[in-house]
Amino acid sequence: MFDLLISNAKIYDGLGSEPFEGQVAVKDGRIAAVRRRDAPIDSSQARENIDAAGQSLMPGIIDNHTHYDAQITWDPYLDQSVGMGVTTAVIGNCGFTIAPCRPDAASRDLVTKNLTQVEGMSLASLQAGIRWNFESFSQYMDQIEAGGCAMNLAAFVGHSTVRTYVMGSDGSDRAATPDEVARMQALVDEALAAGAIGLASTTTTSHSAYDGRPMPSRLADWSEFLALAKPMRDRDQGVFMITKGPPTPVAKLEEFAAASGRPVLVAALLHSSLAPNGVFDDLDGIAAANRRGNRMRGAVAATPLVFDFSFESPYPLEPLLAWKPIFGLKGDALIERMRDPVLRNGLREELKIPARRIFSGNWQLIQVLQVVNPENSALEDRSIADIAAERGVDPLDCLFDLAIAENLGTLFSLTALNHDEQAVAKLLTHSESLISLSDAGAHLSFLDDSGFGLHLMGYWVRDKGIMGMPEAVRRLTSAQADFFGIRERGSLREGWAADLLLFDPARVGRGARSRANDLPANATRVVTRSSGVLGVWVNGERVADENGAVHQPLPGKLLRQGH
């Protein structure tokens, strides 16, 4: 007797094969049978039957770039991703993790504050929510396993967090000593022994700590990186994920791939109109590395990078050097400085210099999303460029003056990167790209790209036709599992885990954005609804239906590499 039988489905196997009409049967959390319509299983052989009525069935989406490291300690359901068809997620990206962490209040405070800044998380929410029942990475993994999860999780050990554990606040100020590097190396080895899926890091200049200093991994010299490659080589385990900055071009990262003998995922290959060939040059370098036997992929996004922000947390401006003197100011103190023409002129001059950054100075890409004062309601959904032209003022002055007039409460929207659709289509179909960068769990007050897979299938496949649905499903499932070494997931094969997504191809995609106050300490997050999702199963248990996530069992497993 099967536990579940889904019949009359258009089945995508996750391998890129053409779909076929048939059935999938589930027993004890595994796929017990996959049948074509000419050899059906009788419905009497299953405890639960679902008639898919010609809708599409595929393996669950694997999201390799999330930041649920803190949230999973208080929220086992992770509704946003589960409701979007994600059945497996990788946490710890960019090296921004919470384990290992020393148990004293100062260490926890430092890790928490850095997360608040670099990943756009509410400090009050983190302070109220994180359950600190661990010190080591192994203890953290045990806590996740004991608490359960609605979907499967795999975890990177984070370079910045390891650096903080060894060096404290000095990790954001200087290179490590040989003894400190050796201690970090041992911590990475211990994390791999506990089942970490790899090591994650960052060198990009946009990743700053809570006080404006660099995140710790940005202070590591190259010898430190190569030292941390050794435990990966010794264990023949894990992926190295890095959000690269100027110190680590693709050629340098190929050295890490060679030294570790392990795959390297290079992020974030988001297209910028100011450097239109940059991401494609990176992909060419990655292709050359693969030809030399060094395994690499480039992390690309199916979505434009859109930030909702206000001047209560002006994330798009914070990487600018001219902003650094007022970094962290709030309320009246910030308003006073924003009135200063010296600051405004400094920002204007810096924005004149072409550079690939979160905000490049294109004022058409910043829109007024929500105003505070009713008399300004006509400004909503209009760009700062258009409003400034109408008023005959400089766009930066227009932005600042509107925010000040509304006591910094105005909500803006910035389309930062990936807005050239022709370029994005080329990235998504590139042989060396891996679809990624949802950032689910991070920047909660700014964005929600947890539905990246639905957006690929709906917008890019159904509406734009840049690839066929079989290839899109493969890129979201088995291509992810193969690169990360995730066993027995990502394909509809008999004996493999029953991670399933049932969807309506005519409607699949992302719905409208809204805001919710459902985080600890009543913090706000952006929420995007799914469209066309009919059911999601993790290890054979239903975790979402057409109305979103269902809070019932917690069938997800912690995927420990090497175990």
CATH of the domain at 49: 2.30.40.10
Mean pLDDT across 9-18: 98
**Residue 447 scores a pLDDT above 80:** no
What is the structure's pLDDT at 98? 97
State how far the Cα of 491 lies from the Cα of 61, in Å rounded to an integer. 10
* Co-location of 39 and 123 in the same domain: no
Query: Do 250 and 183 belong to one domain?
Result: yes
Band the pLDDT of 360: cuts 50, 70, 90. confident
Q: Residues 286, 395: one domain? A: no
Contact criterion met (CB below 8 Å) for 445 and 312: no
Q: Does residue 515 lie within any of the structural domains? A: no
Q: Is a pLDDT exceeding 90 seen at residue 522?
A: no
Alpha helices in 85-236 (DSSP H): 105-118, 123-129, 137-147, 159-167, 178-193, 222-235
pLDDT at position 64: 98
CB 448 within 8 A of CB 80: yes
Regarding whether 170 and 108 lie in a shared domain, the answer is yes
Q: Give the pLDDT confidence score for residue 523 in this predicted structure.
A: 83
323 in the same domain as 289 = no
Distance between first and last Cα of the chain: 30
CB 558 within 8 A of CB 545: no
pLDDT at 517: 83
Angle between helices 159-167 and 105-118 (to 10 degrees): 150
pLDDT of residue 210: 86
Q: Is there a domain that residue 538 lies in?
A: no
Same structural domain, 31 and 94: no
Whether 531 is covered by a domain: the verdict is no
pLDDT for 438: 96
Average pLDDT over residues 108-117: 91
Please tell me the predicted confidence (pLDDT) of residue 195: 98
Based on the fold, state whether residues 120 and 153 are members of the same structural domain: yes
Supply the pLDDT for residue 3: 98
Please, which pLDDT band fits residue 164 given cuts at 50, 70 and 90? very high
30 CB-near residues (< 8 Å, 6+ apart): 495, 496, 497, 498, 540
- Residue 122: its pLDDT value, please? 82
By residue count, the chain amounts to 563
pLDDT of residue 202: 98
- Phi, then psi, of 306 in degrees rounded to 5: -115, 120
pLDDT score for 335: 97
Residue 273's pLDDT band (boundaries 50, 70, 90)? confident
Dist CA 31 CA 25 (whole Å): 6
Alpha helices in 236-363 (DSSP H): 250-260, 278-291, 331-338, 341-351
Is residue 524 in a domain? no
Give the pair of three-digit tokens for residue 203. Answer: 């060198």
Cα distance between residue 309 and residue 205, in whole Å: 20
**Distance in angstroms (rounded) separating the CA atoms of residues 537 and 399:** 46
Please check whether residues 67 and 175 belong to one and the same domain.
yes
pLDDT of residue 212: 83
What pLDDT does 377 receive? 95
Residues 427 and 282 reside in one and the same domain: yes
> Is 540 part of a structural domain of the chain?
no
* Structure letter (DSSP) for residue 170: G
Q: How many domains does one find in the chain? A: 3
Percent share of the chain, pLDDT over 70 = 100
Mean pLDDT score across all residues of the chain: 95
pLDDT tens string 249-264? 999 999 999 999 999 9
Residues 410 and 430 in one domain: no
The answer to whether residues 428 and 472 belong to one domain is: yes
Q: What CATH number corresponds to the domain at position 197? A: 3.20.20.140
Residue 91 is assigned to a structural domain of this protein: yes
Find the mean pLDDT for residues 81-89: 97
Among 417, 433, 454, residue at a domain's last position: 417
Q: Domain span at residue 376?
A: 306-417
Residue 554 belongs to some domain of the structure: no
Residues 6+ apart with CB under 8 A from 81: 63, 66, 68, 89, 151, 438, 440, 441, 450
Mean pLDDT of 132-140: 98
Examine the pLDDT at 443 and tell me if it is beyond 80. no
Helices (H) and strands (E) in the chain, counts: 17, 22
> CA separation (Å) from 187 to 19, 139, 144, 219, 256?
45, 13, 19, 18, 18
Q: What is the pLDDT of residues 140-159, one digit of tens each?
A: 999 999 999 999 999 999 99
What distance in Å separates the CA atoms of residue 541 and residue 559, rounded to the nearest whole number?
A: 17
Statement to judge: residues 300 and 445 lie in one domain = yes
Lowest mean pLDDT among 116-130, 190-204, 521-535: 116-130
pLDDT digits (tens, 9 = 90+) for 304-358: 988 888 998 898 898 899 999 998 899 999 999 999 999 999 999 999 988 778 8
Q: How far apart are the C-alpha atoms of 558 and 37, rounded to whole Å?
A: 35
Residue 117 scores a pLDDT above 80: no
- Boundary-marking domain end, from 454, 483, 512: 483
Per-residue pLDDT, 546: 94
Query: 340 is written with which tokens?
Result: 């200063």
The arithmetic mean of pLDDT across residues 271-278, rounded, is 90
- DSSP 8-class letter at 461: I
Quickly list H helices, 273-383: 278-291, 331-338, 341-351
pLDDT over 90 (residue 392):
yes
Does residue 311 lie in a domain region? yes
- Write down which residue in 21, 39, 54 finishes a domain: 54
* Residue range 448-478, pLDDT digits in tens: 899 999 999 999 999 999 999 999 999 999 9
What is the Cα–Cα distance from 396 to 372, expressed in whole angstroms?
19
Q: Is 205 left (phi over 0), alpha (psi -120 to 50) or beta?
A: alpha
Q: What mean pLDDT do residues 273-296 have?
A: 96
Confidence class for position 5, pLDDT limits 50, 70, 90: very high
Is residue 120 over pLDDT 80?
no
For 176-209, what is each residue's pLDDT tens digit? 999 999 999 999 999 999 999 999 999 998 888 8
Query: How would residue 514 be classed by pLDDT, with cut points 50, 70 and 90?
Result: confident
